[in-house]
Amino acid sequence: MRQASPKPEGLRERNRREKYEHITNVSIRLFLENGYDATTLAEIAHSSGISRRHLFNYFDSKDEILFSHLREYYEMIAESIARGSPDEPTLEVVRKAILSNLTRFDAERTLAIAKIMRNNAALQSKNRANEINLEKAIMKGLSALWPSKMSHDRLLFASILSSGAIRFATYIWLRDGNEIKLADCVAEAFDRMKFEIQCTE
Amino acid sequence: MRQASPKPEGLRERNRREKYEHITNVSIRLFLENGYDATTLAEIAHSSGISRRHLFNYFDSKDEILFSHLREYYEMIAESIARGSPDEPTLEVVRKAILSNLTRFDAERTLAIAKIMRNNAALQSKNRANEINLEKAIMKGLSALWPSKMSHDRLLFASILSSGAIRFATYIWLRDGNEIKLADCVAEAFDRMKFEIQCTE
DNA sequence: GCTATTGTTGCACTGAGTGCATTTTAATTG
DNA sequence: CAATTAAAATGCACTCAGTGCAACAATAGC
C-alpha cells in the first residue's frame, strides 16, 4: 500500500483516503451479506464505483481489504513503544504501549471482521499470517528504544511473547462479547504470562 | 488430506504413501531450482508423472506440498504431550514432548523449505499461518492430559507461549547454521521465557 | 470371474492477480 | 489561463491456482 505523503494533504490524497475507506466499508458490507468467498472482486469494484483493475491500486490482494487498516494501528504501536522508558522491562513497555493506544483500536470493524472470519478457516489462517506485521512493529519499536543495549534475540523473543499475549487478549474479548473491556483482557493476558511462567519454578 | 487407515497397510495405502513422498521430493527439487512462484502445478504434475488434476487428491493447495508433512509430526507431539505427567507444569510438559520428538524432526527437509521461503514474503506468511496447526496440536495434547482440571484458557495460553518458543528456537537454529543443536535451541527458548518474565518482577 | 470401490484423468470453468497500452484527471509551471 | 507533466483510472488479454463433473482404469473383496 502506498504511504500518505507527509506534506499537507492535497485533494488527491484526500480523495484517495476517502475512496480507500469507502471501498473497505463496501467490501465489509458485502462480505457480511454474502460471505467472503462468495464475494468477488468484480462485485466489490462495481459496488464501489471503480474498475476491477483499479482495486489493485488500493489493495494488493483480496484479504488486504480486511487487514490493511491494521498497518496504521501497528505503526502507532511501534512509535508508542519507541517512546517508552528504557528503564522498564521490555514486556512492561509493550503492555503500556498497547493499553495507551487502545482508544485508536477500531472495535466495531474488528467485530465485523471477526464475524466474516467465523467458519472460514482459510481467512483465519490469513489473519494469523498477518500477525507477522504486529510482531515486526513491536520489534521495530523495541529496537528503537534500545538501539544496542539489548541483544536482538531478546527483543525478538519479547516481540513473540507480546504478540501472543495480544492475540490471546483479542480472542477472549471476541469470545466473551461486550461484557468485557478490551483493556482488561490485555492487562490480564500480560499478567497471565507471569503467572504461567511462575508455575514452572 | 486423507488419514492413513489404522488397518495393516495394503498395496493401495503403500502406493499412496510412496507417491505422496515422491511428489513432495520432486516439488522441493523444482522449487529449489526455479523458485516457488515460478514453478507451476502443471510442471510438478508432469515431473511427478501424474495429471495436474490428481495433484489435488494429495494436496489441498500448492503450499500444502511444503507444509503437510508437518501434520504427522504435530500429531506425534500431541500424543507425546498427552502422555506427559499431569503433576508437572504445562510448559514443562510441552518442552519435554518437543525434546523427546526431536529425532523425528526432519531437519534436512526443514532446511530445504527454509531456503525456498527465503526472499518470499508470501510463503513466510503461509508458514506462519501453518503454526495454527502446531498450536492446535499442543492444545489437543494438553487438553487430553488435563481433561478438566485446568481451565481451557490456561491451556490455550500455554499453547500460545509454547508455539512462540518453538518458533523462536527454529529461527535461531536456522540462522546460526549447523553449529548449533536444535535441542539446545528449544531448551534455551523455554528457559528464556522464564528469564524474560523474571525481568518484569 | 464379477462387482463395488477407489484411483486417475481430461475438460471446462471461476476467480485472483499481473502487465501493458490508453485515456482521464489533477497538480504544476510559465 | 493554457500548456505541460504526473498520477489516477480503465480495459483487455493473459497466467495460474483451485473446483466440479463425467468418464475411465485399477484394485479390493466376494
Contact criterion met (CB below 8 Å) for A154 and B191 = no
**Closest-CA residue of chain A to B200:** A89
**In the CATH hierarchy, which top-level class contains the domain B11-61?**
mainly alpha
Tell me the pLDDT band of A72, cut-offs 50, 70 and 90: very high
* Confidence band for A3, pLDDT divided at 50, 70 and 90: very low
- The per-residue pLDDT for B150 is 80
User: Gap from A55 CA to C30 C1', in Å?
Assistant: 36
Cβ atoms of A172 and A157 closer than 8 Å: no
pLDDT at A8: 43
Confidence of residue B201 (pLDDT cuts 50, 70, 90): low
User: Is the pLDDT at A6 greater than 50, yes or no?
Assistant: no
Nearest alpha-carbon partner for A157 in B128, B192, B130: B192
CB atoms within 10 A of CB B63: 17
Q: How far apart are CA B18 and CA B14, in angstroms?
A: 6
Give A149's pLDDT tier (boundaries 50, 70, 90).
Answer: confident
Q: Do B154 and A194 touch (CB under 8 A)?
A: no
Instruction: State the pLDDT at residue A190.
Output: 95
Q: What is the pLDDT of residues B39-61, one digit of tens each?
A: 999 999 999 999 999 999 999 99
Four-residue CA torsion sign, A145, A147, A151, A156: positive
List chain B residues with CB under 8 Å of A199: 89-91
Tell me the pLDDT band of B148, cut-offs 50, 70 and 90: confident
With beta carbons less than 8 A apart as the criterion, state whether B165 and B104 touch.
no
Please state, for a pLDDT cut of 90, what percent of chain B lies above it. 83
Say which of B164, B189, B200 has its CB closest to residue A89: B200
For residue A13, what is its C-alpha cell? 490524497
CA distance A60 to B168: 29
Residue with cell 489462517: A125
- The CATH architecture annotation of domain B68-198 reads Orthogonal Bundle (1.10)
Q: How far is A173 from chain B (nearest CA, A)?
A: 12
Q: Residue B172 pLDDT more than 90?
A: yes
In angstroms, the Cα distances linking B83 to A141, B99, B105, B138 are 41, 14, 19, 12
Residue of A nearest to B172 (CA): A153
Q: Are both B11-61 and B68-198 of the same fold? A: no
Q: Which of A134, A20, A2, A148 is nearest to A76 (CA)?
A: A134
With a cut of 80, say whether residue B5 has pLDDT above it: no
Q: Where are the domains of chain A?
A: 11-65, 68-198
Q: What single-letter amino acid sits at B52?
A: R
For residue range B99-137, list pLDDT tens digits in order: 999 999 999 999 999 999 999 999 999 999 999 999 999
Residue B181, phi-psi category: left (phi > 0), alpha (psi -120 to 50), beta (remainder): beta
Q: Please tell me whether any atom of strand D lies within 7 Å of the Cβ of B1.
A: no
- Partner-chain contact A161 B164, CB within 8 Å: yes
Nucleotides of strand D within 7 Å of the protein's CB atoms: 7-13, 15-21, 27-29
CB-hemisphere CA count at 13 Å for A146? 20
- Write out pLDDT tens, residues A86-140: 999 999 999 999 999 999 999 999 999 999 999 999 999 999 999 999 999 999 9
At residue A11, the 3 state secondary structure works out as helix
- Which carries the bigger pLDDT value, residue B1 or residue B128? B128
C-alpha cell at B91: 510448559
Provide, as residue numbers in chain A, all residues whose Cβ is less than 8 Å from the Cβ of B199. Answer: 89-91
CA B100, CA A30: separation in Å to the nearest integer?
A: 49
User: Smallest Cα–Cα separation from A108: which of A14, A25, A22?
Assistant: A25
The answer to whether A198 and A117 are in contact (CB under 8 A) is: no
Query: Average of pLDDT values for A41-66?
Result: 97
Using a 10 angstrom Cβ sphere, with 0-12 exposed, 13-18 middle and 19 or more buried, the burial of residue B168 is: buried
Question: What does the mean pLDDT of chain B come to?
Answer: 91
- Could you give the dihedral angle defined by the CA atoms of residues A85, A88, A89 and A93, in that order, rounded to the nearest 10 degrees? -40
- Would you say A64 and A1 are in contact if contact means Cβ atoms under 8 Å apart? yes
Topology of A11-65 in CATH? Answer: Arc Repressor Mutant, subunit A (1.10.10)
- Using a CB-CB cut-off of 8 Å, the residues of chain A touching B194 are 197, 200-201
